[in-house]
Amino acid sequence: MIFLRNFILLTCLFTFLSSNAQPREVLVFHKTVDFEHNSIKTGYQTLTKMGVSHGFSVTETADAGIFESSDLVKYDLVIFLNTSGDILNEVQQQNFECFIDNGGSFFGIHSAADTEYEWEWYGRLVGAYFTNHPEIQKAEIRVLEPTHPAVAHLPDTWTRTDEWYNYKIIQPDLKVLLNLDESTYKGGTMGKNHPIAWYQDLQGGGRSVYTGGGHTIESYSEPLFVEHLLRCILFAMDGR
């Protein structure tokens, strides 16, 4: 097994070094094993239109086999859009680790945090795991980093309706962008420190970004949320 792991990593590294990957390519991955959101199709359609308007191409798939393909190296960013459960096998996991270790970036949307609970590396990458949620309702979000490009367009207090996750195994070095105000809705269990969007600078040179919104179909036609998604994508790829 150790030999197989090392072989996969070396093969993946060689592929990255020899690849003439085109810039600004985004993979939207939306495989589900547990709960499947009915907003997934609307979500990837919105992201695809966004790419057309802002100079990046989008490939969407629920086929985990793409993580075994040499095509993986052409992407600058992999988005987990409302994924759930155990969605990648061991080889696919190793190839995704290689992608990230060699400068690839990651953007998790909503139930990306309800994914791969037994894969410790992924838990560190996404930043936290889903615990539970109350019913869909309106809540207030506080912008903690108002000059950050992913949230600079938002009001200091952002009021919106969505399914609000409670989280566990929160990584200690997250750079939190948005904090959920539990006093403005029912069902929060995390207290005053309730991150709902954050990012991490990765050792390989890329970035990991996560936002907890995006459960509802309506989210993907909500101007401020759609702009937030776009800004998260651009920041993950370009740092701006």
Q: Classify the C-alpha dihedral 179-222-239-145 as positive or negative.
A: negative
Give the ranges where the chain is alpha helix by DSSP (H): 2-18, 40-54, 90-101, 120-126, 223-238
Average pLDDT, the chain: 92
Taking domain 2-238, whether its CATH number is 3.40.50.880 is answered by: yes
Mean pLDDT of 219-229: 98
pLDDT of residue 4: 46
Q: pLDDT per residue over 189-206, tens digit each?
A: 999 999 999 999 999 999
Give the pTM.
0.90
Q: Where are the beta strands (DSSP E) in 95-238?
A: 105-109, 129-132, 137-143, 157-162, 166-168, 175-181, 195-201, 207-211
Q: What percent of the chain has pLDDT over 90?
A: 87
Locate 207 and state its tokens. 């970035």
Locate 157 and state its tokens. 């207090």
Q: 239 or 139, which is more confident?
A: 139
Q: pLDDT per residue over 59-96, tens digit each?
A: 999 999 999 988 899 999 999 999 999 999 999 999 99
Q: pLDDT per residue over 124-166, tens digit each?
A: 999 999 999 999 999 999 999 999 999 999 999 999 999 999 9
